[in-house]
Amino acid sequence: MLIRDIRNGSYARAKDRSVLCELLHPAHEPECTNRCSLAHAVVPAGEATLPHRLNTSSETYYILAGEGQMHIGDESAPVREGQVVSIPAGATQWIENTGEGDLVILAIVDPMWSEEDEEIL
């Protein structure tokens, strides 16, 4: 049985400038047979991620807390707690925190995230 607790997670600045904790990644967990990876990401107040894309993986953001502005390609829209955003593979994306507190996101990447697949623009 594989159980991860976010309270024991290790956070670091990701290449896109979010503060990220990898919760589950099949390449790092022999007992995990999932195709997707899962991360807990924070965009602090007043900050935004860098524009980037995943060339072959799609991504789903579930907004856990806060509010922001999501940018995908030429489109942008406000997002808030309780919403889900689908980001297609190859799409340029970035998110900015427009609220007063942290913007907290659960990021699901399918197939699993890999450094070679991510491109910072």
Is the per-residue pLDDT at 1 higher than 90? no
Domain boundaries defined on the chain: 24-120
pTM score of the predicted model: 0.94
Is the per-residue pLDDT at 2 higher than 90? no
User: What is the pLDDT, as a whole number, of residue 100?
Assistant: 97
Phi-psi category of residue 3: left, alpha or beta, with phi > 0 → left and psi -120 to 50 → alpha: beta
* Superfamily classification of domain 24-120: Jelly Rolls (2.60.120.10)
CA distance 24 to 53: 20
* Residue pLDDT, tens place only, 8-53: 889 999 999 999 999 999 998 888 889 999 999 999 999 999 999 9
The DSSP result for 95-119, as a single string, is EEE-SSS-EEEEEEEES---GGGEE
